[in-house]
Amino acid sequence: MQYISQIAFVLTLILAGYFLSKRIRQIRKNILMGKDIDRSGNAPDRWKTMLLVAFGQKKMFKNIIPAFLHLLIYIGFLLINLEVLEFILDGLLGTHRLFAPFLGDFYTVTINFFEVLVVGVMFSCIVFLIRRNIMKVSRFSGLEMTSWPKLDANLILIIEIILMLAILTMNASDQILQTRGDQHYVATGTFVFSAFLMPLFQGLSDGALVLVERFAWWFHIIGIFAFAIYVTYSKHLHIFLAFPNTWYSNLTVPGKIENMPVVTTEVKTMLGMPAEDGAAAPANPDEIGRFGAKDVNDLNWVNLMNAYACTECGRCTSNCPANLTGKKLSPRKIMMDTRDRLEEVGQSLSKGGKGLEDGKSLLGDYITQEEINACTSCNACVEACPVNIDPLSIILQLRRYTAMEESGSPASWNAMFSNIETSFSPWKFAPSDRFNWSEDLKQEPPSA
Dist CA 272 CA 240 (whole Å): 48
pLDDT of residue 444: 63
For residue 146, what pLDDT band results from cuts at 50, 70 and 90?
A: confident
Query: Could you give the angle at which helices 391-404 and 331-350 cross, rounded to 10 degrees?
Result: 80
Amino acid at 167: I
Dihedral in degrees, nearest 10, Cα atoms 363, 365, 371, 373 = 40
pLDDT of 421 higher than 90: no
At 148 the three-state DSSP class reads: helix
Query: Are 314 and 412 contained in the same domain?
Result: yes
In the chain, the percentage of residues whose pLDDT exceeds 90 is: 51
Least confident of 17-31, 135-149, 318-332: 135-149
Query: Are 243 and 266 contained in the same domain?
Result: no
In the chain, the percentage of residues whose pLDDT exceeds 70 is: 94
Mean pLDDT of 300-322: 94
Query: Are 319 and 203 contained in the same domain?
Result: no
Query: Could you give the angle at which helices 64-80 and 147-179 cross, rounded to 10 degrees?
Result: 50
Q: 367 forms bridges with which residues in the sheet?
A: 363
pLDDT of residue 446: 64
Could you tell me which residues come within 8 angstroms of residue 406 by beta carbon, excluding any fewer than 6 positions away? none
46 belongs to a structural domain: no
Start-end of H helices in 97-183: 100-103, 105-133, 147-179
Q: Considering the entire predicted model, what is its pTM? A: 0.86
Domain containing 320 equals 261-277+289-429
User: pLDDT of 3-32, one tens digit each?
Assistant: 788 889 999 999 999 999 999 999 999 999
Mean pLDDT of 27-52: 93
Query: Are 210 and 266 contained in the same domain?
Result: no
pLDDT of residue 288: 55
Query: Are 198 and 269 contained in the same domain?
Result: no
Query: Are 99 and 139 contained in the same domain?
Result: yes
54 belongs to a structural domain: no
For residue 63, what pLDDT band results from cuts at 50, 70 and 90?
A: confident
160 belongs to a structural domain: yes
User: pLDDT of 69-84, one tens digit each?
Assistant: 998 888 888 888 778 8
pLDDT of residue 279: 52
CATH number assigned to the domain comprising residue 267: 1.10.1060
Number of other residues whose CB lies within 10 A of the CB of residue 318: 20
What domain count does the chain have? Answer: 2
Query: Are 225 and 103 contained in the same domain?
Result: yes
Dist CA 12 CA 78 (whole Å): 22
Number of other residues whose CB lies within 10 A of the CB of residue 35: 16
Query: Are 73 and 214 contained in the same domain?
Result: yes
121 belongs to a structural domain: yes
Query: Are 92 and 236 contained in the same domain?
Result: yes
pLDDT of residue 277: 55
User: 177 to each of 184, 186, 188, 219, 400, how far by Cα in Å?
Assistant: 9, 9, 11, 19, 68
Mean pLDDT of 394-409: 90
User: 102 to each of 53, 186, 447, how far by Cα in Å?
Assistant: 37, 11, 100
Query: Are 293 and 243 contained in the same domain?
Result: no
Higher pLDDT residue, 99 or 392? 392
User: pLDDT of 228-279, one tens digit each?
Assistant: 999 999 988 998 999 999 999 999 887 788 888 778 887 788 778 876 655 5
pLDDT of 427 higher than 70: yes
Query: Are 389 and 414 contained in the same domain?
Result: yes
Mean pLDDT of 177-193: 81
Contact 301, 37 (CB under 8 A): yes
